Amino acid sequence: MVVRNTSLPTRRDFLRLSGVAGASVLFGAACSDGSDGSASVADATAADTGGEGSDTTADATADTTADTTADTIADTTADTTPAEYVEPEAGWPACDLAATTQTVTFVHINDAHGNFAPLRDGKSPAARARGYFDKVKRENPFSLFTNGGDDFEKGSVAELRSSGQATLDYLEAMDYDVRCIGNHDFAWSADTLLDFTRAGTAKVLCSNVEYTGANPEKWGALAFTSIEVGCVTIGFFSLVSKPWNERNEQYTGDFFATDFPARWDWTERAREIVTAHRAEVDLMVCISHLGNGGDQELAAAVDGIDLILGAHSHTVLMREELVNNTIIIQCGSNLGWVGRLDLDFDLTTRALTTHRYRMTPNIPGTLPENPRVAQAMTEMLERHAPDAHTTIARCTLPLNAAGIADLTSRAAIEVAAVDAAMTDTTTVWSTWGAEGITEQDLADTYKVERQPAGTPGFNGFYTAEVTGESLELIRQSANDRWRFAGPATIDPNATYRIAVQKILVFNADVYLLPGVVFGGQSFFLEAWELLERFGRLRTAAGLPFNEG
């Protein structure tokens, strides 16, 4: 089967975590780039998974500083969907003036990254996540469904086929109460981002990026909002991390060239909001897209934040963190986990008293499915990517990352009709078995991340012209990372056409021998799409994917 180069499961075998929940899931997982999550709020670097990395976990010890009232045991009790499913009503009961206490519950997910579509078993993890929230809200009607951002990129092939519309369909179906903008949510275009801020029923937050364009009515994001949940007034704001470039590195600048100015002084921005609104609310909540290390620093630096619902670093926090009286949680990524935090509030003293926290793995058969969302996701997949799970080509032997990169270079030569090609093995997320390959498998192999925002993916292929002298230098630059395919004999005085990934075509001086010059470069195809075309050509010719 297709296996990601990561400690997390594949989409095909989505989160077999029943044994993990009680054994190897960590109390604080590392950032995907191998860092320990301690990035400063001043730069919030390397917290996101980017495209070269994978969602990893580190050897971490249990955090013994957390509140002793916290429930850290994952709820894996089987919970099948009721025959007659009753979805809780939107909103919350009115304040009971006679009540002295009230429990507010947050059900939180973050960094879904397009992993909402039904898998090969026809089941959608999004339907289970919503079903879990429905269950919680039936238990406590004062419950909120929150989303930490990064809904776009790296997931369902339906998003790729629909230019992001599938993700907007998902947001419409999920009916979040509050969500925020993550750095990957700028991916497609300014227009798609504007649509994103108005999709569904949720209040959408972004406190450090503004919209200054010509259509202010299309910008649905708020810098701050408050919600009356029974007798408790909850204030919300949000902070998003910096953009990324084609080298998969963060940079200081705006996501788009115009209309979306950003502030990167996160601590000062948070302090402004807390100072302006703390007296208006009972609870102050930051839905943060800074990463776990950034959340810790923010909590330590800014008084008055009761809760940080985290995202961005894909951290699996099985135990909440407590920093400067701020509770911090984060719930992994890819809809693999759902977090629940219960806050007990004393209505007489207007004070938070106790809390309980639980992480639940999103495993088929253990969480109820919301049938409305399940149907919406099935229709979404049929509408945008009906062939997502159909075998389009077959592989006759297992291929590791280098083998897939070699195959991709061969595919680029044939599909792009060029003389040579080079592929970066670090952009390969999967290994393949000897089996059938689907469109979704290919999208999982080369995950698309449009970096910088609004441009082609950084691992997508460009065609360019090079002299024979440059082509020889490119061939000499080939190594375990950079896999080259091309003519056996190179004429230094001839001109050749080559296909290379975006990361390389704009950074030849970084990765290749000195003297390589690309000319006339033009975007061709995303890497997964190139392989998809090549696979179909092989199948039409009666050949396996990896032969002929």
Q: Where are the alpha helices (DSSP H) in 212-321?
A: 266-277, 292-301
Give the fold, CATH level 3, of 391-540: 5'-nucleotidase;  domain 2 (3.90.780)
489, two tokens: 């004999």
Look at domain 3-55+100-384 and name its CATH class.
alpha beta
CA 306 to chain centre: 25
Q: How far apart are CA 51 and CA 271, in angstroms?
A: 32
Task: Give yes or no for a contact between 518 and 466, defined as CB atoms under 8 angstroms apart.
Answer: yes
In this predicted structure, what is the pLDDT of residue 547?
A: 82
For 232, 295, 333, 394, 421, the CA distances from 348, given in Å and listed in that order, are 11, 30, 38, 66, 70
In this predicted structure, what is the pLDDT of residue 62?
A: 31
Q: Given CA atoms 511, 512, 516, 519 in this order, what sign does their dihedral have? A: negative
The per-residue b/e assignment along 315-333, b for 16 or more CB within 10 angstroms, e otherwise, is bbbbbbbbbeebbbbbbbb
Which residues pair with residue 369 across a beta bridge? none
Task: Give yes or no for a contact between 31 and 292, defined as CB atoms under 8 angstroms apart.
Answer: yes
In this predicted structure, what is the pLDDT of residue 73?
A: 43
In this predicted structure, what is the pLDDT of residue 30?
A: 33
Bin 332: left if φ > 0, else alpha if -120 < ψ < 50, else beta.
Answer: left
Question: Between 165-174 and 125-139, two packed helices, what is the crossing angle to 10 degrees?
Answer: 20
447, two tokens: 């995950």
Domain assignments of the chain as residue spans, ordered by start = 3-55+100-384, 391-540
Q: How far apart are CA 422 and CA 406, in angstroms?
A: 8
Encode the chain (548 residues) as per-residue pLDDT tens digits: 433 333 333 443 333 333 333 322 333 333 333 333 334 454 443 445 454 333 433 333 233 333 333 344 455 455 666 678 889 999 999 999 999 999 999 999 999 999 999 999 999 999 999 999 999 999 999 999 999 999 999 999 999 999 999 999 999 999 999 999 999 999 999 999 999 999 999 999 999 999 999 999 999 999 999 999 999 999 999 999 999 999 999 999 999 999 999 999 999 999 999 999 999 999 999 999 999 999 999 999 999 999 999 999 999 999 999 999 999 999 999 999 999 999 999 999 999 999 999 999 999 989 999 999 999 999 999 999 999 999 999 999 999 999 999 999 999 999 999 999 999 999 999 999 999 999 999 999 999 999 999 999 999 999 999 999 999 999 999 999 999 999 999 999 999 999 999 999 999 999 999 999 999 999 999 999 999 999 999 999 999 998 86
Three-state DSSP state, 95 = coil
Q: How far apart are CA 317 and CA 322, in angstroms?
A: 12
Question: Between 125-139 and 371-384, two packed helices, what is the crossing angle to 10 degrees?
Answer: 160
Q: Given CA atoms 29, 33, 34, 35 in this order, what sign does their dihedral have? A: negative
Per DSSP, which regions of 114-196 are E strands?
Answer: 143-147, 178-180
Amino acid letter, residue 439: E
491, two tokens: 């004429």
Is the backbone peptide bond immediately before 452 cis, with ω within 30 degrees of 0? yes
In this predicted structure, what is the pLDDT of residue 546?
A: 87
pTM of structure: 0.88
For 24, 72, 328, 358, 364, the CA distances from 331, given in Å and listed in that order, are 15, 13, 10, 10, 18
